[in-house]
Amino acid sequence: MSEFIPVLTKEEIATRVKDVAQSISTDYKDRDLILIGILKGAFIFLSDLIRHLSIPVKVDFMCVSSYGSGTSSSGRVKLVKDVDLELKNMDVIIVEDIVDTGVTLSYLVDHLKSSGAASVRICALIDKKERRKTTVVVDYVCHSVQKGFLVGYGLDYAEFYRNLPEVYHLKL
Task: List residues near ligand PRP by CB under 6 A.
Answer: 38, 40-41, 65-66, 73, 96-104, 156
- In the complex, minimum distance from the CB of residue 136 to ligand PRP, in angstroms, rounded to a whole number: 8
Contact partners, residue 40, CB within 8 Å, separation at least 6: 63, 154, 156, 162
User: Which residue, 91 or 154, has its beta carbon nearer to ligand PRP?
Assistant: 154
| Selection from 56, 52, 57, 61 nearest residue 23 by Cα | 52
Active-site annotation holds for 19: no
Handedness of CA 47, 49, 54, 59 (dihedral sign): negative
User: Which residue, 49 or 104, has its beta carbon nearer to ligand PRP?
Assistant: 104
User: Which residue, 90 or 108, has its beta carbon nearer to ligand PRP?
Assistant: 108
- In the complex, minimum distance from the CB of residue 3 to ligand PRP, in angstroms, rounded to a whole number: 21
User: Which residue, 25 or 134, has its beta carbon nearer to ligand PRP?
Assistant: 134
- The stretches of the chain forming alpha helices (DSSP H) are 10-27, 43-50, 103-114
- In the complex, minimum distance from the CB of residue 147 to ligand PRP, in angstroms, rounded to a whole number: 13
Interatomic CA distance for residues 94 and 46, integer angstroms: 10
| Selection from 34, 171, 1, 15 nearest residue 115 by Cα | 34
- Say which of 19, 30, 84, 100 is annotated catalytic: 100
121 and 139 in contact (C-beta within 8 Å)?
yes
- In the complex, minimum distance from the CB of residue 61 to ligand PRP, in angstroms, rounded to a whole number: 11
Interatomic CA distance for residues 164 and 81, integer angstroms: 26
131 and 73 in contact (C-beta within 8 Å)?
no
Active-site annotation, residues: 100
